[in-house]
Structure 1
Amino acid sequence: MNSMHKIRFSITLLVLVLTSTSAFSLTFIENVKGYTLNQQGKLITFSNIAFEDEFIVGMDLAQEPGGIVTKINGEGRVMLPGLIDAHGHILGLGQNLLEIDLRGSQTEDEAVKRVLEFVSANSLLTIRSKKEDTRWLIGRGWNQVLWPTKAFPNKASLDSAIKDRPVVLSRVDGHAVWVNSAALKLAGIDANTPSPAGGEIVKDKNGQPTGVLIDNAEYLVTKLIPKADVEQLSAQLNAASEHLLSLGITSVHDAGISKQVYDFYQQQAQTGQLRFRIYAMISATDPQISDMLTKGHINTADDMLSIRSVKAYGDGALGSRGAALIEPYSDDKHNHGLLVTPQESLPSLFSQVLAANFQLNFHAIGDRANRLALQQFAKTFKIYPENTERHRIEHAQVVAVEDIPLFKELGIIPSMQPTHATSDMNMAEDRIGKVRLKGAYAWKTFLEQGSRVAFGSDFPVELANAFHGLHAAVTRQTPENEPKMGWIPEEKVSIEDALRGFTLDAAYAAFQDDKLGTLEIGKRADFIFIDRDIFKRPASDIRDTQVLETWINGQQVFSKSL
């Protein structure tokens, strides 16, 4: 930082000290290797930082300020702004941490083995219904693309292991479930049950359900699972909090909450129990959405909870061939994917949300879903011109090349997840072919046209570690740094732009860039210490970065040494 900036920061600090009406107590951290972006997205460095309680009051000061209560030697460690995950599922992560984890299973048999191991070791953690003899086994993380057969699993393998208890195992992307016969029986699903709109009951050649339910068909079973009570929600939130804070994540945009969770988050905020910031999106499918919209925006004074957006659902996922495509799947010529929300329902949905002055964040993975969303935004903006700012498309994963400029023209934020590209590279071309890949996972194309891209992970679909996302964004490589030059390398972004997606632009996507996302005077003191300089080390090293400390509102909330 140049001398003029130092003088300005020093003067600002002096003014704050002289005009403070209360005892001015500073925390001053010196000897840091600090990096942040400014409001224009330019990377700047600093060597010290001062904050009073929750707010930054000085940076890169030429001399030590007066009134210090706490002085800390940063020991030359690297400091970054707190990381913001613009798309995750907080309680889903907590549930995943407490229940059956199938991530990385290499075969269907291995997945079944993990279910049995969980039953043996963790029977008390299963969700129980009011009838003690009907205990649901819940898990997540299987991905048939990683299995030798690449075929969907079958109820038969689960039936051979678990006959008397319903089992519901979500695919890694959450857009399909694998269930056993006990679960199908409870849901009344048999050969005569038709697939619901926007979903599919997968059936074998004899017309019998195989145990795989895609997108809206999931609800035929999942609606029967007893709702978690407050005690279980608290356990899930606590497990997620411990995990996220250890990864340096100080804020999460929770992509789709129910009325129950809406109330739970507010209760947690009112009693001071939220440990990281939550920007929650109301689920458009919740029966009580109208009531929640009527109550207006929720913003706590400490900025720990904000609810002013709605998550709507356009289509399914690419891996389960549920993403809605303009042309058929390259590896399934009669399949265009699924529209989870019917096209004819879009006008009323968009109008309902925009009329209430809420942000609309629309899940769209396939090019058809993205196109329909863009078209509907354009139409609805004409009806509600007072609410046209910072609406989002969540994922924006496969977009027709000719539609990409519409994001900039309409001011729609692409909310994207870098690790989706590195997870999908082994099947994406099979699903959509080379031509459509030109508009897929196109982060740099969006940035070059001037779009602000909010980055996230979509945990627990992917791991919640933002440094995995930074690595994927910069290298477009697997954890093993393959392929050598990266997958579709022309869409790599710089480390500065990648960090911007996980900080400043994520904050912008939540209307919080005046408070969060960078380390600047007047903003909240959310920052982390890490074990390496990601701006000086090879890009291949970014993924293994370790978080040493996490601070929120000027308070240390995680330390690796503890």
Structure 2
Amino acid sequence: MRILRLITFVLIMLYTGAAFSQTTLFHNFNGYTLTGKPGAEAVLVKFDAMLIRDGKIAAVGTLADLEATYGKQLADQRVDLKGKFVLPGITDAHGHVLGLGQNLMLADLRDATSESNAAATVADFARKNPSAPWVLGRGWNQENWDVRQFPQAQTLDEVDSERPIYLTRVDGHAAWANSKALELAGITADTVSPDGGDIIRDQQGQPTGVLIDNAMGLVERVIPTPTAEQQEQALKVAFEHLLARGITGVHDAGVDATNLQVYKELANDNALPIRIYAMLSATEPTLAELLAAGPYVSDDDKLAVRSVKIYGDGALGSRGAALLASYHDAPDQHGLMVTSQERIRELYELIIPHGFQINTHAIGDRANRVVLDEMERAYNTIGGRSLRHRIEHAQIVHPEDIPRFKELNIIASMQPTHATSDKNMAEDRLGKARMKGAYAWQTFAEQGTIIAAGSDFPVELADPFFGLHAAVTRQDRDNQPQGGWYAHESLTLEQALRAFTLDAAYAAGQEQVLGSIEPGKWADFIVLDHDPFARDAAILWQNNVNATYVAGEREYSAN
């Protein structure tokens, strides 16, 4: 009889949700969230209290309403946020987590003002890391230098001629190497540039040290591959960096098998403090086997694997973006398809039958057209329209192709800070006439295309408030140019926030559990010191994150 009573008690507790349940009331704050359907139908609502039970939102509203509904003792504990401001956790819909972590441990050349200044930074890093077999760095951008031209290997030889030096450009689509790195890679005047890549040469045909897109692989294949332990270390560095900026989830744009295994081990050990939507890299040798294993989603939604990242073309800054017409400032160049159209077709035919979403990098208008053409062909032959496929960047799209995004149900995964970073060189590359359809956020939004916003870190800085600011103002953080760069394509703050929250969740098929502060969804939210909706747009980027919560647990605190 005693056992029967005990079983009955446990069943009652489970049925009522009281067993093992932990409730927390957050109150005394000003909160904003987009609710309802993703896209233009979403509604911005305000609230000042939320009840969290077992990591999920149980109720949202005013404190008076929640107490009237649930009683004064509605929670096990109360957290007074002292008048601060609350937003849903930010999702960066296109970042490179491992790359960010590794980048934080490499020579940072983002602020270099010249070739010699970049070399001096590398020299300082090399002195501080005397045991490193390779001197590695990232972030150089010749468009920000006093002389806007590609650098030379000889400049790095003066830093160190015995150790190989390899420095990736800010966009990840070009690299600068010293002569030792070229020697180890076997790159000489006789080396043929690989398909989808280019070895930049001087007038005598000698390699200058700059490698574009697929040519980078000639050096990268001789750089020691990071071990799983080193990858885990870099990931943890990245997690800490992202959480401090209010990012609770990332769509990781291209992970290999080792990276994926590290993620799964962290998820199994309950050691993922952030949500990862991992895109399998199309160049992963075991892609077919990974696809055959089917989609993977952890029970706590911390890790989801059901998409594939394909590189279509290169980047605009290195003239690797594939264009329909030649470059305005280099009439003999049209850019590069890193993955051929034939191979893209093969990959679509491989991936879609397994039910995986396809996310294809396309920056130039030719690359975007190729992707749209191949996606349309795939729909007509093998289906897959419902998988919410995406074009990553969708940066320069021919105006005739923009409506095809809506027609083909393609999500535009776009990065606002790319526009403010590229504004100094985009017209040089394209000419003014071809800027229509470039960085065309509002045009996409008005036709009903879902925009998922990200940063493409570490190409850009990971702070999402830099992205919100760029989206709304079309200006850099020095408020230039006045009035905004092609300001008619700017987004409202509501649209921009939606692109970083609810619509980003939709782009990962997660809008039922993430993306807004609504009952039934995971309690991912951030606490700010200022009200973004009451601030001058010019200083939107200056918001400070006081705390970041994932599933109701505080994963970061500024105090």
Shared fold, TM over 0.5: yes
- Tell me the residue number matched to 1:105: 112
The 5-angstrom pairing of residues 88-103 of structure 1 reads 88-103=95-110
For the residue of structure 2 that corresponds to 1:157, the secondary structure is: helix
- Flag the 1:386–1:441 CA change in 2: closer, same or farther, 3 A: closer
Q: After the TM superposition, which segments of 4 or more aligned residues of structure 1 sit over 3 Å from their partners?
A: none
1:120 matches 2:127: yes
For the residue of structure 2 that corresponds to 1:75, the secondary structure is: strand
- Tell me the residue number matched to 2:8: none
- Tell me the residue number matched to 2:19: 22
The 5-angstrom pairing of residues 459-478 of structure 1 reads 459-478=457-476
- Tell me the residue number matched to 1:9: none
- C-alpha displacement at 1:267, in angstroms? 1.0
2:30 pairs with 30, 33, 46, which one?
A: 33
- Tell me the residue number matched to 2:253: 255
> What residue identity is the alignment partner of 2:55?
E
- Tell me the residue number matched to 2:541: 543
CA–CA separation in structure 2 for the residues paired with 1:273 and 1:333: 51
- Tell me the residue number matched to 1:6: none
Contact (CA 8 Å) 2:228, 2:259: kept in 1 or not? no
1:185 matches 2:186: no
Pairwise CA RMSD of aligned residues?
A: 1.4
- Tell me the residue number matched to 1:376: 374
For the residue of structure 2 that corresponds to 1:162, the secondary structure is: coil
- Tell me the residue number matched to 2:239: 241
2:220 pairs with 215, 218, 222, which one?
A: 222
- Tell me the residue number matched to 2:83: 76
- Tell me the residue number matched to 2:4: none
Indicate the larger mover: 314-323 or 59-68. 59-68
Contact (CA 8 Å) 1:30, 1:74: kept in 2 or not? yes
For the residue of structure 1 that corresponds to 2:151, the secondary structure is: coil
The 5-angstrom pairing of residues 113-512 of structure 1 reads 113-123=120-130, 126=132, 135-512=133-510
CA–CA separation in structure 2 for the residues paired with 1:216 and 1:122: 28
Instruction: Show CA shifts across 1:289-328 (max 9, x none).
Output: 1111111111000010001000001100000000000000
- Tell me the residue number matched to 1:52: 53
Contact (CA 8 Å) 1:17, 1:24: kept in 2 or not? no
> What residue identity is the alignment partner of 1:548?
N
CA–CA separation in structure 2 for the residues paired with 1:59 and 1:260: 40
For the residue of structure 1 that corresponds to 2:134, the secondary structure is: strand
- C-alpha displacement at 1:17, in angstroms? 11
Which runs of 5 or more structure 2 residues have no equivalent in the other structure? Answer: 1-12
For the residue of structure 1 that corresponds to 2:33, the secondary structure is: strand
Contact (CA 8 Å) 1:357, 1:387: kept in 2 or not? no
CA–CA separation in structure 2 for the residues paired with 1:313 and 1:553: 33
CA–CA separation in structure 2 for the residues paired with 1:63 and 1:160: 68
> What residue identity is the alignment partner of 2:43?
K
- Tell me the residue number matched to 2:515: 517
Instruction: Show CA shifts across 1:433-454 (max 9, x none).
Output: 1121110000000000000100
> What residue identity is the alignment partner of 2:106?
E
For the residue of structure 1 that corresponds to 2:158, the secondary structure is: helix
- C-alpha displacement at 1:32, in angstroms? 1.1
Contact (CA 8 Å) 1:479, 1:543: kept in 2 or not? yes
For the residue of structure 1 that corresponds to 2:83, the secondary structure is: coil
Instruction: Show CA shifts across 1:489-535 (max 9, x none).
Output: 10011000000010001000000000100000000000000111110
Contact (CA 8 Å) 1:166, 1:179: kept in 2 or not? yes
For the residue of structure 1 that corresponds to 2:233, the secondary structure is: helix
> What residue identity is the alignment partner of 2:44?
L
Normalised TM-score (structure 1): 0.94
